[in-house]
Structure 1
């Protein structure tokens, strides 16, 4: 189907992969030699999460592919737990389904975790990686954020029926009655312990870490993340010889809940994705 919007034509389709009918949209005006970028939304979000700022900004000169992850947006849930690794395998399968040799992968929050695991599990398919507001271990979240995750479950769903979050979900979800199930599965996902330190340290593709200075994880965690990649270990030098191919951006006046709508995000990310930096 074709949708109209303020930015170039978006085309929505489904890919039958890994037992899912995975919904994705393509937009942009790709220039010769450009590499597509996949955008992965946060929990309870969908492809439209990036409509206001990020997708239009990145669509100039490249193919932008936004994806509705399992149980989100127009992608119906299946009898499978929500896990970062299985959703990452879905993204890898989509890249192959589209016949792309490689893609840049960028994710926000939950989508950032999926992007990280896509790079870890399928490094041959990821040219550059951008993780926005996503820690590399569960303890990277602030304690109050973890407490909210610990309480998450189907019992919360009814209290969210009057929110824009539910209204957006119900507008596009194949099965809106799955709303409580999504809350249960999200709670189960977010209570899983993980520490990807060793996997992050082994990544070779250029990686950018982006957080807000008032995010749900501390700027110090983002700096630690950057350090695992070898960044921030020495003076970059007048000739930049001491720099790594990796980047760290801490966006001022930005929280976990508005970073994906901030004009600072594409301003930070676009030069990284457009550069010729190589590992």
Structure 2
């Protein structure tokens, strides 16, 4: 368990598994912490796993700067360098997936493989009722959420548990912001695995559009598989946006992607 002093931030991270090899960075969702990846850790026991608490979340204190995927992506890039790694595999869920995506966009040389769990590349990729709920969210939700498991985790590990309303307010503002990363997603060079639930908060049509931007689903792979795209799409059965990290189908989708020996450019 360590802190990296980067970009004016004391960024919490902890390593699991071997201390050599390409690190696999796991980035949690909004209001969460790295502890939420506990169900996935046994499947990644043979990998150099690095859990991260994003700014204002978990054990990483809020420093009062704008909370944005772009700035947090710079934090992740600095962490890769802090770890002494040339490149990393970066996996993110929800808000963490936004950060992972921006890391691949802003720092392409540092991302070997990218895994995006349950987030759209454009705000209207969420179902309309999800967007409406984001628009209604505010810091006032902090008090009723004190009864939730996610607050219980925050209260246990945060350096300043009294900052809970600050975090809820800042995430509320972040999720109200419009964004469209279409052009930038199309330029991503890292092989990418997109993972969604079959009852996700992201619209199925948007999942397919996302995959197409990465070169997937545009043609038949051919009998010999020679037309298979470098990027992959997995839709996990019986899962939702809220329980996808615990899906028993997730390791089966993730491990072959991480363990595939790719080209010199991707490995």
TM-score in terms of structure 2 length = 0.97
Q: Secondary structure at the match of 1:233?
A: coil
What is the Cα deviation at residue 59 of structure 1?
Answer: 2.1
- Is 1:270 the counterpart of 2:261? The answer is no
Segments of structure 2 that go 5 or more residues without pairing to the other structure are none
Partner SS for 1:74? coil
Mind listing any 5+ residue stretches in structure 1 that lack a counterpart? 1-11
Deviations 1:63-91 (A, max 9, x none): 00010000000000011121000000000
CA distance in 2, matches of 1:56, 1:39: 14
**One of 172, 177, 182 as aligned partner of 1:187:** 172
Among 43, 47, 52, which residue is 1:57 paired with? Answer: 43
**Preserved CA contact (<8 Å) 1:219 1:250:** no
Is 1:110 aligned to residue 95 of structure 2?
yes
The 2-side partners of 1:108 and 1:184 are apart by 20
Deviation at 1:166, TM superposition (A): 0.8
Q: Describe the superposition over 1:80-108 as per-residue Cα deviations: whole angstroms up to 9, x where unpaired.
A: 12100000000000001111100000000
Please name the residue that 2:211 is paired with.
Answer: 226
Number of positions where the alignment pairs a residue of Structure 1 with one of Structure 2: 264
- Report the equivalent of 1:202: 187
Give how far 1:172 is off.
0.3
Q: Is the 8 A contact 1:153 1:180 kept in 2?
A: no
2:64 to 79, 84, 90: 79
Query: Deviation per CA, 1:113-163, whole angstroms, max 9, x where unpaired?
Result: 000000000000000000000100011001111111111121010011111
Contact 1:13 1:24 in 2 (8 A): yes
Q: Aligned with 1:72: secondary structure?
A: coil
Name which of 26, 38, 51 aligns with 2:25. Answer: 38
TM-score, reference length from structure 1: 0.93
Instruction: State the partner residue of 1:22.
Output: 11
1:253 matched residue in structure 2: 238
Cα shift at 1:239: 1.1
d(CA) in 1 for partners of 2:138, 2:158: 19
Deviation at 1:261, TM superposition (A): 1.0
Deviation at 1:165, TM superposition (A): 1.1
Is residue 143 of structure 2 the alignment partner of residue 158 of structure 1? yes
